[in-house]
Amino acid sequence: MNNPTKVCKSSLQPMESVDWDFLSHKQALQIHGIYVPGTDPLQTMEGRKIFRFFRLSILPEKSSDVCVPLKLSMVPRQNTPYSFVSGELFYNGEKLCPKGMTIRHAPLLPEENTWHLKGYTFPFEGTPQLYKELRLNLRISGSCPGRCRFCHRWHSHRLKPDGSQKNNPRKILARLLEDEGGEVLKKVRRMLVISELFGLEKRFLNSISSTRDVVDKFGYGEDKPFGCSASDVRGLEGLKTLHTLIRPSRYSFSLEFFSGRDRYMGHYKGLPMDRVYPILENARKAGFREIQLNYLAGIDSLEELYDGMKKLVELGLVDSLGLSTFTAFSQEQLDLRHESAWDPLYYHQAVNVFNRLGIKVFRPESFDMGTPYSVLMEKTE
Ligand code: SF4
């Protein structure tokens, strides 16, 4: 293998609007976490000790195209060179003050607040585009059956006070309009169903079908994107049905990573790759024009990433990637990160692999995946 992961420095293009040094800091913040003096970084949830979330909003003063605040883990002082003190960000004790940016803490409502159970991610407070993307969560089980070791969603694994596990799409939309105003759906540019696993293809498809009917009736707009992460739909017939329900023609499958699939993911999600290929082939046969794989960078070695992606490309089973960075939210999860992925250069090299293999980053990007990958892609293109 001729070093597939080497960054082509000659192809790095200067881009006036991007502060590359600060971009590396953003990446490193996701890797190392942030220390906040005076706050216990650990909390106990379902008997486990986990790091608290810390949302850091980093907004360019001029551009309106920004992502939601970075979701970071709050860690002990010895874990990280980053700290947040009196509303300011520090790196090894030195204040980070990127030109043209404002940085602030974007607090979340307390865990017990029912806001977390409303079934939609709205509005994106702290960004200029409060209503750009609407994500609907149709299922709240209190504990996703996936039970993946790398997952941070046990932060949201809580049941509704009445113990119900399903979010009725009609009720979600009704609440949304009540909270945000009758015209809000007109401002939404794309809608996605992001949910825990359903475990049954038919049940998932029924939910998607009824949700699409509801959002169309509520006036979302029948020409606007309506998609979902559809790892529950795996058989050819189910995929044909799914193809009639979503727009545009994109099958989104949560691949996550190649190595340790059987150890780091639950058995339903962590299929070995030789069982993943037929699912993606079915998606092609069902007529999907684009296969989008959600990929979590930081767990594979770069060689595993390259070999895995190359094979998918050779089989014609990937067109685009929804990229995110693995962030550890507990001491045990820190061990899941590949040793090479502690270096921010790893992510540049990963992006370089995607470029070399001709894989595009999913566009429009998912709202909280937007940076730094989009700019990294441009940097290495
Ligand atoms: S299936 Fe998804 S939500 Fe469920 S535990 Fe695994 S990664 Fe988390």
| 94-95 β-sheet, strand order | 82-85, 88-91, 94-95
Our answer on whether the CB atom of 148 is closer than 6 Å to any ligand 1 atom is yes
Q: In a 3-state reduction of DSSP, which class is residue 231?
A: coil
Could you give all domains of the chain from N- to C-terminal order, each with its CATH number? 9-23+109-380 (3.20.20.70)
How long a stretch of residues is the chain? 381
Cis peptide before 123 (omega within 30 of 0): yes
Task: For 213-257, write each residue's pLDDT tens digit.
Answer: 999 998 899 999 999 989 899 999 999 999 999 999 999 999 999
Instruction: Mark out the alpha helices in 16-168 (DSSP H runs).
Output: 20-32
Residue-wise pLDDT for 94-107, tens only, equals: 999 887 788 889 88
pTM beyond 0.95, yes or no: no
**153 ligand 1 Cβ < 6 A:** yes
Nearest CA to ligand 1 atom 4: 146
Model confidence at 89, in pLDDT bands (50, 70, 90)?
very high
State the Cα–Cα distance between residues 53 and 156, nearest whole angstrom: 11
> Quick one: CA torsion of 299, 301, 302, 304, rounded to 10 degrees?
-100
Distance from the alpha carbon of residue 196 to the mean position of ligand 1, in angstroms: 6
Pocket lining: 267 vs ligand 1, CB cutoff 6 Å: no
Q: State the distance from the centre of ligand 1 to the C-alpha of 144, rounded, in angstroms.
A: 6
Does the CB atom of residue 338 touch ligand 1 within 6 A?
A: no
pLDDT score of 256: 94
- Name the CA dihedral angle for 276, 210, 121, 228, rounded to a multiple of 10 degrees: 20
* Whether the Cβ atoms of residue 176 and residue 211 lie closer than 8 Å to each other: no
Cβ atoms of 128 and 66 within 8 Å: the answer is yes
User: What region, left, alpha or beta, does residue 116 occupy, with left being phi > 0 and alpha being psi -120 to 50 degrees?
Assistant: alpha
The finding on whether 196 has its CB within 6 A of some atom of ligand 1 is yes
Residue whose pair of structure tokens reads 């150890």 in the numeric block: 263
Consecutive H or E run containing 321: strand 320-325
Of the listed ranges 35-44, 297-306, 328-337, 366-375, the one predicted with least confidence: 366-375
- The whole-angstrom separation of Cα 253 and Cα 312 is 13
Ligand 1 contact via 197 beta carbon (within 6 Å): yes
378 CA distance to ligand 1 centroid (A)?
30
3-state secondary structure of 149: coil
Task: Answer for the pair 6, 33: CB distance below 8 angstroms, yes or no.
Answer: no
Measured N-to-C along each axis, helices 302-314 and 345-357 cross at an angle, to the nearest 10 degrees, of 20
Instruction: State CA 120 to chain mean position distance.
Output: 15
Q: What is the pLDDT of residue 108?
A: 75
Q: Between 47 and 52, whose confidence is greater?
A: 52
Ligand 1 touching residue 255 (CB < 6 A)? no
**Residue 22 CA to ligand 1 centre (angstroms):** 31
Please check the confidence at residue 2 and state whether its pLDDT lies above 50: no
CA of residue 246 to ligand 1 center, whole Å: 22
Spatial CA neighbour of 68 closest among 52, 78, 84, 57: 57
Residue-wise pLDDT tens digits, 124-156: 766 667 788 888 888 776 667 667 888 876 545
Q: Per-residue pLDDT tens for 274-316?
A: 999 999 999 999 999 999 999 999 999 999 999 999 999 999 9
